[in-house]
């Protein structure tokens, strides 16, 4: 069975890091006879330069048909003065909304070899492996009505609406339970059910779903406590599920526990498990073209793609093990340099992962 992966390098360091992930994917494609066909397309600033739009129709058409998408990053100073509707980021948002990618999966993994890169004590974070499942297309960021209005008193009032339908909660809940089943079988649902009715409903639906997943242990935590627990004892978590705004904040907090943005992959999935996979970092224009960017977040995003959209767990694990091996060998790009490490370039790191497979 042949499956198509659309590669979207984007801008800045995007083409450099996607090239390394592509090398690694080619190798596992061969090793495990995955039958993957690769295509590439334009998005973001690169698409603006070539076709005067951040999301060309051709890219969107091919994205819709692809089984999975691997994206580098978009944006950069060259396009910063463009009006909002023509900014590179619109390409990314257009893909997310057109493909209805409502489930954002962000692991925060701290490889023991990099424990000293974290701002927390090594014993608190070493071996950390948590996954945050964030609802991405609903909640307060999209709720209507919204705006700034003039009150009769003459004062102005800004307002937003925090709303989730039962169906929206159920579909993100299912992704979270199923993901927990594939991991440590522990799910913590984060809400503010002591104050917000919308999250009272959220909690009720999560409890309801629990009956369908008896092998998963479900717990609930208020968001303020979750923020605290993430820095106090992060290893207590396996999978966390939460709404759009809480997830936005908590996933950045969890990411920073690991100390290096160059190591963090992410996935955004729709109900058909079609997904867009990308590193958590941006296009890093400050280091673009220098051959020093860390390609590991993108390579690990490719592993997530194999796991969640292409159902190729063995190949996913092979990549993750290869990454761990090169870290064991002491290879480090500049951003994760540790004492005694050997500094390597973007391509050297990609080649080393490929060789370690």
Q: Which residues bind ligand NAD (CB under 6 A)?
A: 13, 17, 73-76, 89, 92, 261-262, 278, 281-287, 293-294, 297, 335
CA distance 344 to 324: 15
Concerning whether 67 is annotated as a catalytic residue, the answer is no
Closest C-alpha among 310, 237, 236, 280 to residue 38: 310
Min CB(260)–ligand NAD separation in Å:
8
Concerning whether 248 is annotated as a catalytic residue, the answer is yes
Min CB(314)–ligand NAD separation in Å:
26
Q: Active-site residue among 23, 129, 141, 222?
A: 141
Q: How far apart, in Å, are the Cα atoms of 275 and each of 149, 188, 237, 243, 297?
A: 38, 23, 24, 19, 16
248 CB neighbour count, 10 Å cutoff: 18
Nearer CB in complex with ligand NAD: 9/243: 9
Q: What is the CA radius of gyration of the chain?
A: 20
Q: Active-site residue among 192, 277, 308, 335?
A: 192
Place of tokens 């809940």: 173
Min CB(193)–ligand NAD separation in Å:
31
Residue nearest to ligand NAD (CB): 282
Q: Active-site residue among 210, 235, 252, 273?
A: 252
Nearer CB in complex with ligand NAD: 36/263: 263
Concerning whether 308 is annotated as a catalytic residue, the answer is no
Straight-line distance from the first to the last Cα atom of the chain, in angstroms, rounded to the nearest whole number:
23
CA 264 to chain centre: 8
Concerning whether 185 is annotated as a catalytic residue, the answer is no
Min CB(353)–ligand NAD separation in Å:
14
Concerning whether 141 is annotated as a catalytic residue, the answer is yes
Question: H or E segment at 40?
Answer: strand 36-40
Which residue numbers are catalytic? Answer: 141, 192, 224, 248, 252
């Amino acid at each position: 069975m042949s499956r198509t992966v659309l590669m979207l390098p984007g801008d800045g360091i995007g083409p450099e890091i996607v090239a390394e992930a592509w090398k690694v994917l080619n190798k596992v494609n061969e090793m495990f006879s995955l039958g993957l066909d690769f295509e590439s397309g334009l998005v973001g600033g690169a698409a603006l330069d070539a076709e005067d739009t951040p999301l060309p129709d051709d890219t969107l058409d091919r994205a819709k048909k692809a089984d999975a998408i691997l994206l580098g990053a978009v944006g950069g100073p060259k396009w910063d003065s463009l009006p909002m509707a023509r900014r590179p980021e619109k390409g990314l948002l257009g893909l997310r909304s057109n493909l209805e990618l409502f489930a954002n999966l962000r692991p925060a993994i701290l490889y023991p070899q990099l424990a000293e890169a974290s701002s927390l004590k090594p014993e608190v974070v070493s071996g950390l492996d948590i996954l945050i499942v964030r609802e991405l297309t609903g909640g307060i960021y999209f709720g209507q009505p919204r705006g700034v209005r003039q009150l009769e008193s003459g004062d102005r009032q800004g307002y937003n609406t925090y709303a989730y339908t039962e169906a929206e909660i159920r579909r993100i809940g299912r992704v979270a339970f199923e993901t927990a089943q594939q991991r440590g079988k522990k799910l913590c649902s984060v809400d503010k059910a002591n104050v917000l009715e919308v999250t009272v409903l959220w909690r009720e639906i999560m409890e309801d779903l629990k009956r369908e997943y008896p092998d998963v242990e479900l717990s609930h935590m208020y968001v303020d406590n979750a923020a605290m627990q993430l820095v106090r004892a992060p290893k207590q978590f396996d999978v966390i599920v939460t709404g759009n705004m809480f997830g936005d904040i908590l996933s950045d907090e969890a990411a920073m526990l690991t100390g290096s943005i160059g190591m963090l992959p992410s996935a955004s999935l729709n109900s058909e498990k079609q997904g867009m996979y990308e590193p958590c970092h941006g296009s890093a224009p400050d280091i673009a073209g220098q051959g020093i960017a860390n390609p590991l977040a993108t390579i690990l995003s490719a592993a997530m793609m194999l796991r969640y959209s292409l159902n190729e767990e063995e190949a996913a694990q092979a990549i993750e093990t290869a990454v761990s091996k090169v870290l064991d060998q002491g290879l480090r790009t500049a951003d994760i340099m540790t004492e005694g490490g050997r500094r390597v370039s973007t391509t050297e790191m990609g080649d080393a992962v490929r060789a370690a497979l």
